[in-house]
Chain A
């Protein structure tokens, strides 16, 4: 049965008991991403350390299907405590796997529980679900004060132009909101 290939037990476990869910203070940047085809939403906050080299926390609030919820839970597992550079490498590997239509064999050493999403890659309509939280994370990192000041002088892995908008579109107006939220204002 194909259903079990997609909904691996690991995914269902993360869905039922998500790791690190909820929105927490403090944070350096917050993003709100929406999947316009189904209305699923994620609000995600990133906190980096003082040197802006390590991901200290990823907190989030999601409204969505099991795939999108489990995916952001796995994201939390994989990137919290890692360097920003490592997080982006993991993100790239996850995105490559998710968009491969099942042609990329995932590396468990890099992706951990994320390899469970290999089955999702075979369902194009669900790839956006799997990537929703990850794109929100990428966007959030690029909007941290450190990244914004770095982007002014160079383009590196976390520059804004690296944000893919074809995989997950941002809700119109959310960029404005995200900018306001960079100032740590209340969630609109």
Chain B
């Protein structure tokens, strides 16, 4: 219902590369200057991506013409708003190979993981829906398995679930080049959950999903995939991956903040008890007891975000029209250029694989003699925005004995020239602090 103007794809169409110059025209913010008229070089899309006009327009169009509380009310605006909201769900589901009713709107990926963890917790204290939800119950002696490279969002909720249920947290350690070390852990028949990131937000390594799923299935464990850094950057088909749950955030995929997705296999969502309860998620309510709506409504208590969901629908339309194969190919080229540049700078140590095989565009590194904060400041002075710190993956940084790293991360709107500027900026920082060379 909301018309979305097409993004500017390459002359050869999807799959044959992207016309970055034309794409950039859709992103007004990329034309601004920072710090004394330096052109902005935005290399922090791993933290949050910028949004094209098509997304901003879709949100505004919705709010100016169709805004109402969804799934309540019988007036025309309520119908239109509900249609827009459900249409976004349908397109987002299609974008990741999911069925529409398997997509639950949440605030962000963090909330999505917490939803699953709290639902399992509820099942564990037998406040679940039915006998079916017993399958999610955890007891002392059961195990939840994560990896050492997880974002805190895919670690702390599981630590908390272990604390509430008496289950034990175990984890795969990582290799020296920032991949999950599959030899570091054996799952057991007590392993109930295996949660891991599809693509590390620090090292960029893409997880061996097939193998991790095979191992989890062999012991009957459920898999939870943090797809925050994969869905925006590569084609993802959740059913084909074989995982049981997945989460991703809108703001990292050219969409609005305040909206994300929890995806779960239909039969699992059907059996799972709710997390947040209240309005919208009910079937019948009496003073004595309440029954719950089927998924996805069961997991969307309260009036949900609407313009944000509509905006995320526009974002997946935008990405789909460029083509995720083309997006992935372009970002692989940016990553290659950045890695080549870093390789030539003495005193730079990469935290992650040094080639683009099974690797995405998060490029993290340390520079001998220059703290990441100081490096980030020098780059900022040149107009280059990167992330510095532990990127919400503190245990991973401890594993490598470092306090903080600098991270460049890319999106479809970055140019090869921008990726190449990274190495120049590092050299400038080394000169400024009198180290290296």
A interface residues, Cβ below 8 angstroms from B: 1-3, 6-7, 12, 37-41, 63-67, 123, 126, 129
Bound-state CA distance A2–B374 (Å) is 13
Taking the complex as formed, is B252 at the interface, i.e. its CB lies under 8 A from any CB of chain A? no
A38-B404, A66-B374, A67-B373 given; name 15 further pairs at CB < 8 Å.
A2-B36, A2-B381, A3-B378, A3-B381, A37-B389, A38-B373, A38-B390, A38-B403, A39-B397, A39-B403, A64-B373, A64-B403, A65-B372, A67-B374, A126-B377
Bound-state CA distance A146–B284 (Å) is 63
CB distance from A150 to the nearest CB of B (A): 35
**Can you name 8 A-B residue pairings with CB atoms under 8 Å?**
A2-B35, A3-B377, A7-B432, A40-B404, A63-B403, A65-B373, A126-B373, A129-B373
User: For A2, what are the chain B residues with a Cβ–Cβ distance below 8 Å?
Assistant: 35-36, 381
Binary CB contact string for chain B from 369 to 403 against chain A (1 if under 8 A, 0 otherwise)? 00111100110010000001110001001000001
Q: Which of A39, A41, A63, A64 has the most CB of B within 10 A?
A: A39
Q: Are B373 and A39 neighbours in the complex by a CB distance under 8 Å? A: no
CB distance from A42 to the nearest CB of B (A): 11
Q: Are B372 and A38 neighbours in the complex by a CB distance under 8 Å? A: yes
User: For B432, what are the chain A residues with a Cβ–Cβ distance below 8 Å?
Assistant: 3, 7
Q: Are A41 and B403 neighbours in the complex by a CB distance under 8 Å? A: yes
Which residue in A1, A37, A38 is a CB contact (below 8 Å) of B381? A1
User: For B372, what are the chain A residues with a Cβ–Cβ distance below 8 Å?
Assistant: 38, 65
CB distance from B435 to the nearest CB of A (A): 10
CB distance from A130 to the nearest CB of B (A): 11
Which residue in B374, B390, B394 is a CB contact (below 8 Å) of A65? B374
Q: Are B403 and A40 neighbours in the complex by a CB distance under 8 Å? A: yes
B interface residues, Cβ below 8 angstroms from A: 35-36, 371-374, 377-378, 381, 388-390, 394, 397, 403-404, 432-433
Q: Are B377 and A38 neighbours in the complex by a CB distance under 8 Å? A: no
The 7 closest A-B pairs by CB, nearest first: A65-B373, A65-B371, A38-B389, A3-B381, A39-B403, A39-B390, A63-B403
Which residue in B35, B389, B433 is a CB contact (below 8 Å) of A39? B389
User: For B433, what are the chain A residues with a Cβ–Cβ distance below 8 Å?
Assistant: 12, 66
Q: Are B394 and A64 neighbours in the complex by a CB distance under 8 Å? A: no
CB distance from B243 to the nearest CB of A (A): 31
Q: Which of B394, B404, B432 has the most CB of A within 10 A?
A: B404
Q: Which residue of A lies closest to B394 (CB)?
A: A39
User: For B378, what are the chain A residues with a Cβ–Cβ distance below 8 Å?
Assistant: 3
CB distance from A132 to the nearest CB of B (A): 11
Q: Which residue of A lies closest to B428 (CB)?
A: A3
Q: Which of A38, A123, A126 has the most CB of B within 10 A?
A: A38
Bound-state CA distance A153–B201 (Å) is 51
Q: Which residue of B lies closest to A63 (CB)?
A: B403
Q: Which residue of B lies closest to A38 (CB)?
A: B389
Q: Are B374 and A38 neighbours in the complex by a CB distance under 8 Å? A: no
Q: Are B371 and A64 neighbours in the complex by a CB distance under 8 Å? A: yes
Q: Which residue of A lies closest to B398 (CB)?
A: A39
CB distance from A160 to the nearest CB of B (A): 27
User: For A126, what are the chain B residues with a Cβ–Cβ distance below 8 Å?
Assistant: 373, 377
CB distance from A1 to the nearest CB of B (A): 7
Q: Which residue of A lies closest to B36 (CB)?
A: A2
User: For A6, what are the chain B residues with a Cβ–Cβ distance below 8 Å?
Assistant: 377
CB distance from A136 to the nearest CB of B (A): 16
Bound-state CA distance A41–B394 (Å) is 13
User: For B35, what are the chain A residues with a Cβ–Cβ distance below 8 Å?
Assistant: 2
Bound-state CA distance A65–B405 (Å) is 11
Bound-state CA distance A165–B389 (Å) is 20
Q: Are A39 and B404 neighbours in the complex by a CB distance under 8 Å? A: yes
Bound-state CA distance A25–B64 (Å) is 68
Bound-state CA distance A143–B166 (Å) is 36
CB distance from A121 to the nearest CB of B (A): 14
CB distance from A62 to the nearest CB of B (A): 10
User: For B404, what are the chain A residues with a Cβ–Cβ distance below 8 Å?
Assistant: 38-40
Bound-state CA distance A38–B371 (Å) is 11
User: For A66, what are the chain B residues with a Cβ–Cβ distance below 8 Å?
Assistant: 371, 373-374, 433
User: For A12, what are the chain B residues with a Cβ–Cβ distance below 8 Å?
Assistant: 433
CB distance from B339 to the nearest CB of A (A): 24
User: For B373, what are the chain A residues with a Cβ–Cβ distance below 8 Å?
Assistant: 38, 40, 64-67, 126, 129
Bound-state CA distance A2–B432 (Å) is 13
Bound-state CA distance A41–B402 (Å) is 12
User: For B371, what are the chain A residues with a Cβ–Cβ distance below 8 Å?
Assistant: 64-66
User: For B389, what are the chain A residues with a Cβ–Cβ distance below 8 Å?
Assistant: 37-39
